[in-house]
């Protein structure tokens, strides 16, 4: 696969409070190769968006990276200053968020915002930057970009605004794109268009993508590999087809079972009993054991690490092997 473009190793994110320190991410590790799309999926509160925020240096205060490291093309970036991280974000890391209105200034035309972003990171004059902005709008499916470049965000539909945000994210030809729930607020038909667009433009630009979502359908259509998160940890990671069809972790099995199947009839969908634990009440051992139908006594005492489980890796004692515990 060659050298990974992004490496996240043993990442730990904490939030200090008056009642103690809350651990939001605990020992999260994964990597993304150039040109690869890695999906990150899980319930609300699993730590998906927080992982993306930690990578791009936008942790909400008082959150902090307490341990681990993040490397982009071999360079460690988790200890950079705010100014260094700001320059890195536009030039080497692009971001697409759930609500495009949070990424666009309503007082400026989309063209001005694109041109300013391009000129901040690339050595282009005003005319060349405007030409590049028009080309980006055209590449992302904006009709008549020569005229629409001078319009304001409120003059675009939700799907068109998201296309503008993708154009902004790709303006300086970043090597990595963090897409955090980029289709959640859109109609289903528009979702498919945005996903297809994101895959195409990233492939053409050679960028790697970290796609954060709760929608397994989006994961199946878009990603090469998928990381399933639970309570701030990676529960399972592997090729998307293997995770979907041959899930190794009971939590992943529960997620798959809750998706309606089009080719079979079912009286009712499966469900995972209980709820994601609060950060101040994560149980000892495997965090999923209170909800797990296959929990062992050992699961209640000791936390499992990621280990080979067929074609994927799963943090589950069921795959400890004959010579391992329990």
* Average pLDDT value for residue range 157-174: 90
Q: Is residue 118 part of a domain?
A: no
pLDDT number for residue 205: 75
Q: Is residue 135 part of a domain?
A: no
Question: Token pair of 157, please?
Answer: 């539909």
Q: Is residue 137 part of a domain?
A: no
The Cα–Cα gap between 62 and 65 comes to 10
Specify the range with the lowest mean pLDDT, choosing from 25-34, 91-100, 221-230, 274-283. Answer: 91-100
Q: Is residue 241 part of a domain?
A: yes
Q: Is residue 139 part of a domain?
A: no
Q: What is the tens place of the pLDDT at every residue in 264-299? A: 676 777 778 889 999 999 999 999 999 999 999 999
Q: What is the tens place of the pLDDT at every residue in 45-80? A: 999 999 999 999 999 999 999 999 999 999 999 999
Q: Are strands 37-41 and 208-213 parallel, antiparallel or unpaired?
A: parallel
Task: List the CATH number of the domain containing 284.
Answer: 3.40.50.300
**What confidence tier does 322 reach under pLDDT thresholds 50, 70, 90?**
very low
**What confidence tier does 257 reach under pLDDT thresholds 50, 70, 90?**
confident
36 near 225, Cβ under 8 Å?
Answer: yes
The number of folded domains in the chain is: 1
Distance of CA 155 to the CA centre of its chain: 29
Q: Is residue 140 part of a domain?
A: no
| Phi, psi dihedrals of residue 223, rounded to the nearest 5° | -100, 155
Q: Which residues, other chains included, contact 220 with Cβ-Cβ below 8 Å and sequence gap of 6+?
A: 240, 244
| Phi, psi dihedrals of residue 156, rounded to the nearest 5° | -110, 150
Q: Is residue 152 part of a domain?
A: no
Q: Per residue, what are the HEC states of 50-66?
A: HHHHHHCCCCCCCCEEE
pTM: 0.91
**What confidence tier does 324 reach under pLDDT thresholds 50, 70, 90?**
very low
* Average pLDDT value for residue range 190-203: 80
Q: Are strands 64-72 and 225-230 parallel, antiparallel or unpaired?
A: unpaired
| pLDDT mean across residues, the chain | 90
11 near 25, Cβ under 8 Å?
Answer: yes
Instruction: Residue 281: give the domain boundaries.
Output: 6-92+174-319
Question: Token pair of 94, please?
Answer: 């692009």
210 near 175, Cβ under 8 Å?
Answer: no
Q: Is residue 199 part of a domain?
A: yes
């Amino acid at each position: 696969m060659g050298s990974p473009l992004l490496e996240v190793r043993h990442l730990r994110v904490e939030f200090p409070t008056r009642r103690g320190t809350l651990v939001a991410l605990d020992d999260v590790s994964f990597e993304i190769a150039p040109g690869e799309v890695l999906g990150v999926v899980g319930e609300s509160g699993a730590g998906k968006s927080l992982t993306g925020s930690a990578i791009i240096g936008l942790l909400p205060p008082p959150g902090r990276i307490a341990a681990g490291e993040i490397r982009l093309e071999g360079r460690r970036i988790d200890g950079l200053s705010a100014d260094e991280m700001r320059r890195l974000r536009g030039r080497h890391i692009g971001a697409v968020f759930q609500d495009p209105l949070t990424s666009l200034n309503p007082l400026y035309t989309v063209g001005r915002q694109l041109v300013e972003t391009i000129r901040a990171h690339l050595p282009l004059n005003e005319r060349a930057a405007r030409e590049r902005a028009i080309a980006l709008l055209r590449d992302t499916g904006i009709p008549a970009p020569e005229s629409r470049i001078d319009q304001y965000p409120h003059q675009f539909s939700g799907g068109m605004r998201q296309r503008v945000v993708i154009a902004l994210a790709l303006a300086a030809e970043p090597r990595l794109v963090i897409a955090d729930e980029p289709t959640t607020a859109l109609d289903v038909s528009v979702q498919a268009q945005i996903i297809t667009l994101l895959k195409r433009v990233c492939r053409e630009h050679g960028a790697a993508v970290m796609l954060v979502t709760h929608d397994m359908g989006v994961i199946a259509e878009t990603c090469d590999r998928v990381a399933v998160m639970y309570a701030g940890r990676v529960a399972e990671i592997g090729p998307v087809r293997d995770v979907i069809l041959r899930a190794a972790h009971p939590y992943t099995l529960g997620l798959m079972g809750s998706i309606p199947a089009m080719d079979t009839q079912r009286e009712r969908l499966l469900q995972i009993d209980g709820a994601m634990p609060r950060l101040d009440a994560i149980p000892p051992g495997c965090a999923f054991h209170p909800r797990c139908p296959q929990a062992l006594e050992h699961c209640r005492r000791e936390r499992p690490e990621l280990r080979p489980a067929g074609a994927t890796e799963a943090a589950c004692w069921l795959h400890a092997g004959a010579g391992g515990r329990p």
